[in-house]
């Protein structure tokens, strides 16, 4: 097995187009119907359009060309997720367009607060958080990997089999966002990336985030967002203890479980609810070719 992995690494190195194509074929082998939904003229046209586009990654700082992983177009559209949002990955850190959007929003907030011009999360990791405290709900992202170990940085996961609030590793906590196990005004920044659509009671979670933020702090996040819809698009009725599916269950990829249920796609109602809690909400639609972010969507909700 070790020799096979060495041969594979030589023929198709990590971060190469060859490795990406092998991954697509391997994943499609378990469900052959998805092959045509991935290897099709639309995806090939996107691949041709962006394969030689050089950009500077605002996560790791690397300058390179992107990886396009030929996403399942039918799945993207049925889940109301933009085709490019989860792809065009950095070859160095594999941050997707969505993750780069989040990084740009976080840097915008910190640069404004500090009057600096940090270009990447890697630069931020070298500088440190300067006395700020940050809670990141994604234990598996490159942003988390770069910042872990920095004084003031905490990361968390949702692991019902462990006691809530338990510190599983140094700086790594088991947290239910619907009832966060930290005191009031514990953090200057709370970071979530495509998490809130999977939280059954997102209103309770947002109230908890407001509670644990310090005045002047910010909740920086992205979610599947349908800007043309005044109301959230409910996929599951959660008014009773039992989930009632309003559409066929939609599961998104998850590094912990393999698939996690989506309860909603957010509409403009999200902004009104956050404002009622006391947040000052800024929605960013980012087009920044130098970072290869096209139609990136991200929120910065500040606590006065």
In a domain, 112, yes or no: no
Domain count of the chain? 1
Q: Enter the pTM of the model.
A: 0.92
If we measure between CA atoms, which residue out of 303, 289, 301 comes closest to residue 106?
301
Does 4 score more than 60 pLDDT? no
Provide the strand spans (E) within 148-196.
153-157, 167-169, 172-174, 187-193
> Is the CA virtual torsion 282, 140, 181, 244 positive or negative?
positive
In a domain, 167, yes or no: yes
- Considering the chain, what is the average pLDDT of its residues? 92
In a domain, 51, yes or no: no
In a domain, 274, yes or no: yes
Which domain does 278 fall in, by range?
A: 129-302
Q: What is the pLDDT of residues 37-88, one digit of tens each?
A: 898 999 999 999 999 999 999 999 999 999 999 999 988 888 888 999 999 9
Q: What is the pLDDT of residues 268-297, one digit of tens each?
A: 999 999 999 999 999 999 999 999 999 999
What is the CATH number for 297?
A: 3.40.50.150
Kind plus residue range of the DSSP H or E element containing 222: strand 213-222
């Amino acid at each position: 097995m070790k020799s096979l992995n060495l041969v594979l690494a030589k023929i198709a190195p990590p971060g190469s187009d060859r490795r990406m194509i092998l991954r697509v074929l391997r994943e499609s082998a378990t469900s052959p119907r998805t092959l045509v939904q991935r290897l099709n003229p639309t995806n090939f046209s996107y691949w041709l359009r962006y394969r030689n586009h050089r950009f500077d990654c605002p996560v790791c700082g690397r300058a390179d060309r992107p990886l396009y992983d030929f996403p399942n177009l039918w799945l993207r559209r049925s889940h109301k997720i933009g085709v490019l949002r989860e792809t065009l990955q950095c070859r160095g850190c594999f941050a997707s367009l969505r993750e780069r959007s989040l990084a740009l929003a976080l840097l915008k907030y910190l640069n404004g607060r500090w009057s600096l011009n940090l270009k990447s999360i890697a630069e931020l990791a070298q500088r440190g958080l300067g006395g700020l405290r940050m809670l990141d709900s994604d234990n598996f992202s490159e942003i988390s990997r770069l910042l872990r170990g920095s004084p003031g940085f905490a990361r968390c996961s949702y692991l019902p089999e462990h006691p809530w609030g338990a510190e599983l590793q140094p700086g790594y906590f088991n947290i239910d966002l619907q009832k966060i196990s930290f005191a009031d005004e514990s953090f200057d920044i709370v970071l979530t990336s495509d998490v809130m659509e999977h939280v059954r009671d997102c209103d309770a979670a947002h109230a908890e985030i407001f509670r644990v933020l310090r005045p002047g702090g910010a909740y920086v996040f992205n979610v599947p967002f349908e800007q043309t819809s005044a109301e959230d698009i409910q996929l599951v009725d959660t008014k009773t203890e039992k989930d009632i599916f309003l559409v066929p269950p939609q599961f998104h990829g998850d590094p912990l479980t393999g698939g996690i249920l989506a309860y909603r796609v957010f509409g403009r109602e999200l902004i009104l609810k956050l404002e009622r809690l006391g947040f000052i909400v800024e929605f960013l639609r980012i087009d920044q070719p130098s970072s290869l972010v096209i139609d990136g969507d991200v929120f910065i909700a500040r606590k006065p």
